[in-house]
Structure 1
Amino acid sequence: MLERRIPKVRDLAPLMHFKTPELNGRKRRLAGALTIEDLRTIAKRRTPKAAFDYTDGSAEAELSLRRARQSFRDVEFHPAILRDVSSVDLSSTVLGAPSALPFGIAPTGFTRMMHAEGEVAGAGAAGAAGIPFSLSTMGTSSIEDVAAANPHGRNWFQLYMWKDRERSMALVDRAAKAGFDTLLVTVDVPVAGARLRDKRNGFSIPPQLTLGTVINALPRPEWWINFLTTEPLAFASIDRWSGTVAELIDTMFDPTVTYDDLAWIKDQWPGKLVVKGIQTVDDAKRVTALGVDGLVLSNHGGRQLDRAPIPFHLLPEVVREVGGDTEVHLDTGIMSGADIVASIALGAKFTLIGRAYLYGLMAGGREGVDRTIEILAEQIARTMRLLGVTSLAELTPEHVTQLERLVPRARS
């Protein structure tokens, strides 16, 4: 039998500590977000469907994106115990310069559609965190505005080669003059992928206001007010366009680009050059032979060829083949700090986040991007401590097993 008594006030006092309520709705929401998936949930609630789906979706049946994310879920870690992990160092040297964290912000297009602050918020947050920010050719903030938002940080420019080579290289020249230190040449978009969510939503540039889009936006007043009271949405590096993103890509982008063109671009650029969109070991070898400074294993976030190779699965073999000659970076499917740790352990020098950054942006503008970076940094540090390592250099393939789910059948 339990002996019971009437509790005394002094016994209850230590239990009666109430948290001061946060009256700022944005801060309250972001503080409650503990994962990137939490930020995605907030973003979906606060962003009109067409804009959210442009970020969230991928090509055709969206198998490439799901498989990429699943590949990170199919990771088994192997921790070491009884190590002093009282402090951990998350910094690294990437392309010859420091980064406070082993990830940077990937280039994203049409970013001010997600939130009016757009690339300026991303660049400012990256600068404050000490990580690189990448501006897309399809960005909605100018090269100069991004440089002003991140004047002392590392800015990278992502290039799509247009049919008009002169205009393409004029952008490259502007980026160099603005102090951008790295050129990311994206090579996996000879034509636009079939992004079916965008077609079904009637997503176009500039956005077309239909009864459906107005009704969908009405419960999201902050987005609506920002959209109507800020600079009209347009691509900062492209003349006015009326049509879908896919139509723009097919009209402007050059499907004839070859390795010879890549070598020519390399000769024009004074800084570091990285090739983004590598999806085979053979192509990794060929671009490495050109003397590039790095490559990004990426299937464009699943937004181009559906059923494309899974970048995380390619990583160990590509690192074995070319990792001694060039830096191997990784994107596509990253949704947690544990994903980043697994990538570094298997040999990636660096990683890039695209959707994770945009979920934070949609959830809360600049503060949301700050929260994205904070969540990932916390997860990286915690995962490293639990693995028994105190620096990125201590991570090795021995810490990770890629569990097999999709195993190729033998070819006859």
Structure 2
Amino acid sequence: MTHFATIEELRARAKRRVPKMFYEYVDAGSWTESTYRANSNDFAELKFRQRVAVDFSRRNLATTMVGHPVSMPVALAPTGIAGMQCADGEILAARAAERFGVPFTLSTVSVCSIEDVAAHTKQPFWFQLYMMKDRVFISDLIKRAELAGCSTLVLTLDLQIQGQRHKDLRNGLSTPPKLTLRNLAHLARYPTWCAGMLRTSRRTFGNIVGHAPGVTGIASMAQWALNQFDPTLTWKDIDWVRKQWGGKLILKGILDPEDAKIALGCGADALIVSNHGGRQLDGAPSTISMLPRIADAVQGDIELHMDGGVRSGQDVLKAIACGARAVYIGRAFLYGLGALGEAGVTRALEIIRSELDTTMALCGVTDVHDVNGRVLVVGGYRPVARDMPHVTDTQVRVHAV
């Protein structure tokens, strides 16, 4: 397992082991995929300041996320149908995260149910909620998360309507896959994946099938989902969720400073700067490019997290330097899951931790709490020196070194 040195190597292995429709469900964005690419590419525009003659024999990556201790400022993002990357995928990922000391966030549209994951873990995990029109079902879903011991609710705001993902349409994505001759012939090329799926009974949407009214299988699930995402969702609905949920609340999908300011009055404990991994509004800016502006807008009045394009520990450090308290990895851990199952998720976390630890030290910082915009250089220039927790419009206000 240790011969996988990068997330990219795990991705290449996953591509060989996971059927195309499920691999491409992960490795895709909406429409032209310009925002999906920008999420990763824009990290490369940020450069580090190398510092020397600093005693970094002792280093600390441990911090907190909404008050919960974490071994490093990273959480596993909520990702739909992770259980199709590998049999029982959400359970395996949750166990890997638990051992590593970072949060795992279960998606509403997971394959393994809330109860499945709770039965196979010891520590509280987080639950991500999509708002549906059926508020009775949503209320019951929140109660199920509470009964399962979930400590934090992540409410996604940017999926009132689904962006078009061309690869999913071409592949005829369904969970489980439709048993057509074409699909059967394709699946036969992935014997390890098939063997795992044959051994498990978890092959559809565990949080929904058998729980939502009238949803008893994949056919009824598809029609239900088509009609349930709620285009009427507004800020006032967050008050309704807050009344239903007594634990920590995180709002996911903030990409504009004005929305961030509005969100400050919603009683949330943190915001996730996110464009849904480039899977919704194509042509939107990357999350790392908007993070400093949103940090300026909220002025430290709420904890900021971010996701989108994080493929290394260096990306984690850049995000923290730009104003994030922590980041979420989605595709990075899914590549590990598809490549090696639970061991692959662990390896992905090991890679990111090692890269974060080494890069932080080479920037002359020994504690993750001390990371700020002064560790960054942009295009041969460095930001105005200031003791701030983030870079303020780094791409605009710079002085020559």
TM-score between both structures, scaled by the size of structure 1: 0.88
- Native 8 Å contact 2:88 2:200 kept in 1: no
Identity over aligned residues, as a percent?
41
The correspondence of residues 211-360 of structure 1 with structure 2, limited to 5 A, is 211-239=181-209, 240-242=216-218, 249-360=225-336
Cα distance, 1:214 vs structure 2: 2.5
Distance 1:402 1:211 in 2: 53
Q: Which residue of 1 aligns with 2:357?
A: 381
Q: Which residue of 1 aligns with 2:105?
A: 134
Cα distance, 1:119 vs structure 2: 0.5
Q: Which residue of 1 aligns with 2:170?
A: 200
Distance 1:40 1:210 in 2: 27
SS in 1 for 2:310: coil
Q: Which residue of 2 aligns with 1:101?
A: 72
User: Counterpart amino acid of 1:258?
Assistant: T
Q: Deviations over 1:343-376 (max 9, x none)?
A: 1111101100111110000001101111111111
Q: Which residue of 2 aligns with 1:150?
A: 121
SS in 1 for 2:218: coil
Instruction: Tell me, yes or no, if structure 1 residue 209 matches structure 2 residue 185.
Output: no
Distance 1:76 1:227 in 2: 43
Distance 1:337 1:244 in 2: 42
Distance 1:244 1:144 in 2: 22
Cα distance, 1:245 vs structure 2: 9.1
Distance 1:59 1:262 in 2: 26
Q: Deviations over 1:145-184 (max 9, x none)?
A: 21232212x4111000111001011111111122111110
Stretches of structure 2 lacking an aligned partner (at least 5 in a row):
210-215, 380-392, 397-401
Give the alignment's Cα RMSD to 1 decimal: 2.0
Distance 2:103 2:13 in 1: 25
Distance 1:82 1:149 in 2: 47
Distance 1:210 1:86 in 2: 59
- Native 8 Å contact 2:254 2:275 kept in 1: yes
Instruction: Tell me, yes or no, if structure 1 residue 187 matches structure 2 residue 157.
Output: yes
Q: Which residue of 2 aligns with 1:167?
A: 137
Q: Which residue of 1 aligns with 2:212?
A: none
Distance 2:317 2:219 in 1: 40
Describe the shift of the 1:247–1:34 C-alpha distance in structure 2 as closer, same or farther (beyond 3 A).
Answer: farther
The correspondence of residues 65-80 of structure 1 with structure 2, limited to 5 A, is 65-80=36-51
- Native 8 Å contact 2:177 2:183 kept in 1: no
Cα distance, 1:99 vs structure 2: 0.5
Q: Which residue of 2 aligns with 1:393?
A: 369
Stretches of structure 1 lacking an aligned partner (at least 5 in a row):
1-29, 408-412
Aligned residue pairs total 377
Describe the shift of the 1:305–1:387 C-alpha distance in structure 2 as closer, same or farther (beyond 3 A).
Answer: same
Describe the shift of the 1:199–1:272 C-alpha distance in structure 2 as closer, same or farther (beyond 3 A).
Answer: same
Say which one has the larger Rg: 1
- Native 8 Å contact 1:71 1:313 kept in 2: yes
Q: Deviations over 1:2-45 (max 9, x none)?
A: xxxxxxxxxxxxxxxxxxxxxxxxxxxx3221110000000001
User: Counterpart amino acid of 2:360?
Assistant: M
Cα distance, 1:253 vs structure 2: 1.1
Cα distance, 1:48 vs structure 2: 1.0
Describe the shift of the 1:245–1:80 C-alpha distance in structure 2 as closer, same or farther (beyond 3 A).
Answer: farther
Cα distance, 1:241 vs structure 2: 4.6
Cα distance, 1:246 vs structure 2: 8.2
TM-score between both structures, scaled by the size of structure 2: 0.90
Q: Which residue of 2 aligns with 1:18?
A: none
Q: Deviations over 1:277-306 (max 9, x none)?
A: 011000001011222111000000011111
User: Counterpart amino acid of 2:57?
Assistant: S
